[in-house]
Chain A
Amino acid sequence: EPEVTQTPSHQVTQMGQEVILRCVPISNHLYFYWYRQILGQKVEFLVSFYNNEISEKSEIFDDQFSVERPDGSNFTLKIRSTKLEDSAMYFCASTSLGGPQETQYFGPGTRLLVL
Chain B
Amino acid sequence: QKEVEQNSGPLSVPEGAIASLNCTYSDRGSQSFFWYRQYSGKSPELIMFIYSNGDKEDGRFTAQLNKASQYVSLLIRDSQPSDSATYLCAAPEGNTGNQFYFGTGTSLTVIP
Contacts and interface: CB of A to CB of B under 8 A. Distances in A.
Interface string B75-106: 00000000000001010111011111111110
B46 A56 contact: no
Contact of B43 (A31, A33, A45, A107): A107
Interface stretch (B16-24, B30-38, B60-68): B30-38
Secondary structure dominating the interface of B: loop
A99 B97 contact: yes
Interface of A: 31, 33, 35, 41-45, 48, 50, 55-56, 58, 89, 91, 98-109, 111
Given A106-B45, A108-B43, A98 B102 contact: no
Given A100-B30, A100-B31, A56 B45 contact: no
A105 to B, nearest CB: 7
23 contacts: A31-B98, A33-B98, A42-B103, A42-B105, A43-B44, A43-B88, A45-B101, A50-B98, A55-B96, A56-B93, A91-B44, A99-B92, A100-B31, A100-B32, A100-B93, A100-B94, A101-B92, A102-B97, A103-B49, A104-B100, A105-B46, A106-B36, A108-B43
B42 A108 contact: yes
Given A100-B92, A103-B34, A42 B97 contact: no
B71 interface: no
A91 B42 CA distance: 10
B31 A101 contact: yes
Contacts of B36: 106
A105 B44 CA distance: 8
A58 B101 CA distance: 11
**B90, B92, B98, B104: which has the most chain A beta carbons within 10 Å?**
B98
Contact of A101 (B32, B98, B103): B32
B46 A100 contact: no
Contacts of A56: 93, 96, 98-99
